[in-house]
């Protein structure tokens, strides 16, 4: 079988089921604790005015954040906030429009294009390359979810333990999209099994969105899952008789991999971080129904144009 370049998806559209304890402990890490010095009083608990905390979290200028509070869009510990409210950034829960916001100072969120052969871990006793060597040393960050050594693509890294836990926990159903080049040419029966769920050693997989990309002979599939199971896509493809030759993760929730070469990284914008919080926010636990077949109108358009419909 010839090798092909896995294409980038035309539009925006497996992690830990239970993140390790040390990831959540980053909420109390030295780097975050250092950032708390800016809002600590004389021996008092760290607190600051709500509008200042929201502005620091990237919600806009202090003036704009005051307008958010006045409009009744901000809650603290599930209670409607008012101007002048002070918050304890280490213990209070702040939400805007029902979406929880990370308010600890010093939080960072990176998007990394993980190359093949690099381990998704903070440290390796055998001295092999790890993802933490590809991003800044300070503040210390951990990967959100896992990509095995042979897999490539989008990996989020952060010291925001709360957001990381929500993104990786299966109850929130955050989508992960992959491009997989497999052995052979999957037929309709194999694709139907992948879409409806296949039996794995740890239980059947949930329904997934699966489509063929490009020429059938290339064996490239677009697969969207919302579970957090170890090596899930590889095991699903193995189960239907088409082992994965190359696997690239191209999207997590609303964040897609674009314009980053292997090993490159960038910091997420405040808007992107907020979109991740929304994807793993209230009501996100019910994964959207997965459309596995073209709609009737789509089939008619494909027949008229003489081209097979591609997933998009």
Q: Which residues are catalytic?
A: 148
The CA distance from 31 to 53, in Å, is 18
The answer for residues whose C-beta is within 8 angstroms of residue 1's C-beta and 6 or more apart is: 183, 184, 219, 245
The span from the CA of 162 to the CA of 143, in Å, is: 13
Beta-strand ranges (E) seen in the chain are 47-49, 74-76, 79-80, 86-88, 94-96, 99-101, 109-114, 142-144, 152-158, 176-182, 209-213, 220-225, 244-252, 255-256, 265-267
Instruction: Using alpha carbons, list the distances in angstroms from residue 187 to 2, 191, 231.
Output: 19, 6, 22
Q: What are phi and psi of 189, to 5 degrees?
A: -65, -45
Number of Cβ within 10 Å of residue 15's Cβ equals 27
Cβ proximity of 6 and 181 under 8 Å: yes
């Amino acid at each position: 079988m010839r090798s092909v370049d896995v294409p980038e998806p035309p539009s925006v559209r497996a992690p830990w089921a239970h993140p390790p304890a040390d990831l959540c402990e980053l909420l109390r890490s030295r780097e975050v604790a250092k950032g708390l010095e800016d809002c600590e009083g004389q021996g008092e608990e760290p607190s600051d005015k709500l509008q200042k905390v929201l502005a620091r979290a990237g919600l806009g200028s202090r003036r704009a954040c005051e307008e958010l509070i006045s409009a009744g869009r901000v809650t603290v510990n599930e209670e409607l906030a008012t101007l002048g409210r002070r918050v304890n950034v280490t213990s209070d829960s702040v939400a805007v429009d029902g979406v929880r916001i990370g308010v600890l100072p010093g939080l960072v969120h990176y998007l990394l294009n993980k190359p093949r052969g690099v381990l998704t871990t903070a440290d390796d006793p055998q001295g092999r390359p790890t993802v933490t060597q590809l991003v800044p040393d300070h503040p210390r960050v951990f990967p959100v979810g896992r990509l095995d050594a042979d897999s490539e693509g989008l990996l989020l890294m952060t010291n925001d333990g709360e957001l990381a836990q929500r993104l990786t926990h299966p109850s929130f159903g955050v989508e992960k999209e992959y491009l997989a080049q497999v052995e052979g040419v999957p037929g309709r029966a194999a694709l139907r099994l992948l879409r409806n769920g296949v039996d794995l050693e740890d239980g059947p997989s949930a329904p997934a969105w699966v489509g063929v990309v490009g020429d059938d002979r290339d064996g490239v599939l677009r697969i969207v899952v919302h579970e957090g199971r170890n090596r899930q896509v590889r095991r699903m493809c193995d189960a239907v008789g088409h082992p994965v030759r190359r696997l690239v993760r191209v999207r997590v929730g609303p964040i897609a991999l674009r314009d980053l070469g292997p090993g490159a990284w960038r910091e997420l914008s405040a808007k992107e971080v907020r979109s991740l919080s929304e994807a793993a926010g209230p009501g996100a636990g019910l994964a959207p129904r997965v459309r596995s077949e073209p709609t009737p109108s789509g089939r008619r358009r494909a027949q008229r144009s003489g081209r097979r419909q591609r997933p998009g």
